[in-house]
Copies of this chain bind each other. A is one copy, B any other.
Amino acid sequence: MTRYVYQFEEGDGKDRKRLGGKGAGLAEMSRIGLPVPPGFTITTEACNQYQADNAVPSGLMDEVWEHLGELEAKLDRRLGNVERPLLVSVRSGAPISMPGMMDTVLNLGLNPDTVEGMARLTGNRRFALDSYRRFIQMFGNVVMHMEHAQFEHILEAVKREVGVEQDTKLTEAHLEEVIRRYKALVQKETGRAFPDDPREQLSMAILAVFDSWRNPRAIVYRRLNKIPEDLGTAVNVQSMVFGNMGDTSATGVLFTRNPNTGEPGMYGEYLTNAQGEDVVAGIRTPKEIGEMAEEMPKTYHELVEVCALLERHYRDMQDIEFTVQEEKLYLLQTRSGKRTARAAVKIGVDLAEEGVITRDEAILRQDPEQVQRLLYRQIDPNAELDVLAEGLPASPGAASGRVVFTADEAEARGQAGETVILVRPETTPDDIHGIVAAQGVLTSRGGMTSHAAIVARGMGKPAVTGCEAVKISLDDETFMVGDRVVSKDTLITIDGGTGRVMIGMVPTVDPELSAEFTKLLDWADETRRLKVHANADTPEDAAKAREFGATGVGLCRTEHMFMGQDRLPVVQAMILAETLEERQGPLKELLPMQEGDFYGILKAMDGYPVTIRLLDPPLHEFLPDIGDTEKALARAREAGDDGDALKLEAILRRARSLFEFNPMLGFRGVRLGIVYPEIYAMQARAIFQAQARLLKEGFHPDVEVMIPLVGTPEELARMKDMVAEVNRTVEDEQAVELPYKIGTMIEVPRAALVAGSIAEHAQFFSFGTNDLTQTTFGYSRDDAESKFLPTYLAEKILTDNPFMVLDRKGVGRLIEIAVADGRATRADLKVGICGEHGGDPSSIEFCHLAGLNYVSCSPFRVPVARLAAAQASLRH
């Protein structure tokens, strides 16, 4: 015959299926010798049998009475006994936590007789009567399905009649009147007397828990959370303990370590002669747990031991509720405690060093996204915020400064030591010097890949973009949000991690890379299979990336180098050239600049691979806006400035001829290299000249040349030959061997689909998952994020923004195809990812599963990537 009831100490702490979550926890704590108020659990099987038969399973109640007898014997109290009444709580407990289910019934066992026994035992008749009143109310509501409000009406009425405002002012006589009326209400509403027989109370409560499995709230909750209907719930019957039995009693909550900092040692508070409700009610001020060492030394040391035991047993920092009844310590609950990111890191590392958990576990317990926050200056979580507007969280971190509206002013005032925030409708290459000098950037237009967003992320500088509520008037040097006008020089704060914009200087907290964090990352490095590289376009970025632990540059974009104020005119001259000869002049001017760029980056990453991507964006990105140029031309003509007009006409002509309907799918990447091979040849020469210089200076440059946007093997083959020729020429000129690898970005679906052929010419693939996501979905990120993606995410058509979390089913399938076909052609093909996904934990897990060699992400994401890569390695 099936056994339905187990004393806590008999139960298997792992058998959540039969005992439910709460029952298993109580069993576990009892089993390891912790002082848990005794009790027993009725299994989920009993519940399921009840549901199936629509009747109390035969033999169940016999078992309950038998176990109740054991409990009574253990405690030397009996249910319904007047001298030593046993009071119990009755709670539901399903295998999966279900907030939609039955509430708790406390103090079960009270009746007109036992309440007097309680009064004698506690020496506090008022307390006993109040407990009885509460029990009737709770039982009436939860078990007898009466409305809570009806009881409250009675209580309010009595208080009104006797002229008191607070419950605590009710005397014993008042409470007796309340109880009388409660019972009358029960009789009236249910047609039966409130049960005085404690056994009847218990039977009714158990069946009420069973019934609660089928209440509408629970059914909806299960459907929403996809919880099977046949799990059933267990019922826990536990003896009551009281922390309010005088000065040798107490109640409290504590953490086994400091949940804010992670420092070891108990952290919490308690109240003597009180119940849990009193702590919550805040009527008395609780004491620091440390004070207990003097006030109740024995209990204090018991608690210290319990904490140690719990941490060793549960292998984590615990959040504990306890009650002391007449010097005896009882644990009512223990669970893993919530903690800050900082504490999580320290606790994980400390527990591993204490031998409580393994290093692998310390790694696995971190939430990479939470850890990420340690790396940016953040809004103080305790600060009160006056949020003015919300835009896109384009580049994380918080920054405060005075509003300025032009890059030139940002530069001038920034260099003068002022803190400013550059506010623009959107930014262009002309604004770079302003972004460098500002604390952060706020734009009213543009998405997560807008110029401002990319540049700011690259610099690790906070940015909020696409903040459409901000209406900027450049002429007035003001912006409006609704009716509020914000003028130049106003102090504002932006939070690039959430997209919020606040008026004034908001307090922030410093980032920290603590000793424990560093240690954790070192452990992660020993565990992970994926290498972690960084996307870096400058020597400074590269140095920062190494500092954060990157072992290579996975993506060095050369276009940002073209956008410096000193470069842009030369780049524009190159673009305006109409013949190859005309183009040679500007290219010659650019060559030493590019050589300097590559020299710096290769040197900063000395000994590690640096993957340099040749020019990628469409050329019109380097030209001024057509509309602006038209206006400038009109002005020049009006002013009679013929020379200027002629120049502007040339720019306008070229800008118009380069105009594209869909620049994302246009004349860019290798398509430029095929049509204007001289541009790529100049870049290749600059790379190899830098490499030669470094080699001669005793460095170890590790060069990888990457061709962007390849979609056919032929494109790569042509560029490979061209680069090889430049390489041979520079080798001859410099009389030094210049080894390098050549490879390609896989960023259009076709490249993935013909990867087998492309691998004939490529030594490495780097998945450019930003563009690959755009082309695979047919989403322009800038357009999608401002138009329909918000609806898609809100309506759960997409579970994640595919530009943040790599889409495994679509984009991921292409990556798997490309890796398989590419390696079939070339077994030692090196494969990595260099889109923004390279810093996203879920995407990194996918990269691990897909067998990639490395991920590359922004320098600031490197620690997260190291951690996530280790977690992926440990999980699979």
Contact = CB atoms under 8 A, between A and B. Distances in A.
Contacts of A566: none
A284 interface: no
Contacts of A787: 660, 666-667, 671, 675
Interface stretch (A2-10, A88-96, A144-152, A772-780): A772-780
B675 A797 contact: no
A712 B776 contact: no
Contacts of A835: none
A810 interface: yes
A780 B671 contact: no
A307 to B, nearest CB: 48
Interface in A656-705: 660-667, 671, 674-675
A12 interface: no
Contact of A753 (B779, B795, B814): B814
A750 interface: yes
Given A674-B788, A791-B675, A747 B780 contact: no
A771 B778 contact: yes
Contacts of A797: 674, 712, 714-715, 718
A792 interface: yes
Most buried by B among A749, A757, A788: A749
Given A748-B776, A776-B775, A777-B711, A783 B718 contact: no
B783 A661 contact: yes
A666 B750 contact: no
A783 B660 contact: yes
Interface in A860-876: none
A304 to B, nearest CB: 54
B667 A664 contact: no
A749 B750 CA distance: 9
A776 B714 CA distance: 17
B788 A776 contact: no
B718 A778 contact: no
Nearest to A774: B665
Interface of A: prevailing SS: helix
Most buried by B among A665, A671, A776: A665
Most buried by B among A675, A783, A784: A783
Contacts of A780: 660-666
A292 interface: no
Contacts of A223: none
A667 B813 contact: no
A787 B675 CA distance: 9
Contacts of A627: 627
Contacts of A662: 662-665, 780, 782-783
A595 interface: no
A188 interface: no
A709 interface: yes
Given A662-B665, A797-B715, A748 B771 contact: no
A754 interface: yes
A749 B774 contact: no
Contacts of A810: 711, 749-750, 753-754
* Identical subunits present: 2
Most buried by B among A778, A792, A809, A811: A778
Nearest to A712: B797
A796 interface: yes
A807 B713 CA distance: 14
A792 B674 CA distance: 8
A714 B798 CA distance: 8
Contacts of A779: 665
Contacts of A798: 712, 714
Nearest to A664: B662
Interface in A97-134: none
A798 B797 CA distance: 37
Interface in A793-825: 795-798, 807, 809-811, 813-814
Contacts of A776: 748-750, 753, 775
Contacts of A807: 750
A814 B749 contact: yes
Contacts of A784: 665-667
Nearest to A714: B797
Given A674-B791, A810-B749, A663 B661 contact: yes
Contact of A749 (B674, B711, B749, B795): B749
B777 A750 contact: yes
A830 to B, nearest CB: 23
A583 to B, nearest CB: 16
Contacts of A771: 778
Interface string A744-770: 000111100110010000000000000
A382 to B, nearest CB: 38
A780 B660 CA distance: 9
B813 A783 contact: no
A627 B627 CA distance: 9
A771 B749 CA distance: 13
Interface in A162-195: none
Nearest to A773: B750
Contacts of A753: 776, 809-810, 813-814
B665 A778 contact: yes
Contact of A778 (B714, B757, B775, B777): B775
Contacts of A796: 714
Contacts of A791: 674-675
A353 to B, nearest CB: 46
A788 B671 contact: yes
A783 B666 contact: yes
Contact of A667 (B661, B775, B783): B783
Most buried by B among A661, A675, A796: A661
Contacts of A667: 783-784, 787-788
Given A780-B666, A783-B662, A810-B754, A788 B749 contact: no
A744 to B, nearest CB: 13
29 contacts: A627-B627, A660-B782, A661-B782, A662-B662, A662-B780, A665-B780, A665-B784, A666-B780, A667-B784, A667-B788, A671-B787, A671-B788, A674-B792, A675-B787, A675-B791, A712-B797, A714-B796, A715-B797, A718-B797, A748-B778, A749-B775, A749-B810, A750-B809, A750-B810, A753-B814, A754-B809, A754-B810, A754-B813, A775-B776
Give the top 4 A-B pairs by smallest Cβ distance, nearest first: A748-B778, A662-B780, A750-B810, A665-B780
Given A665-B784, A666-B784, A747-B778, 8 more contacts: A662-B780, A662-B783, A674-B791, A675-B788, A712-B798, A714-B797, A750-B776, A753-B813
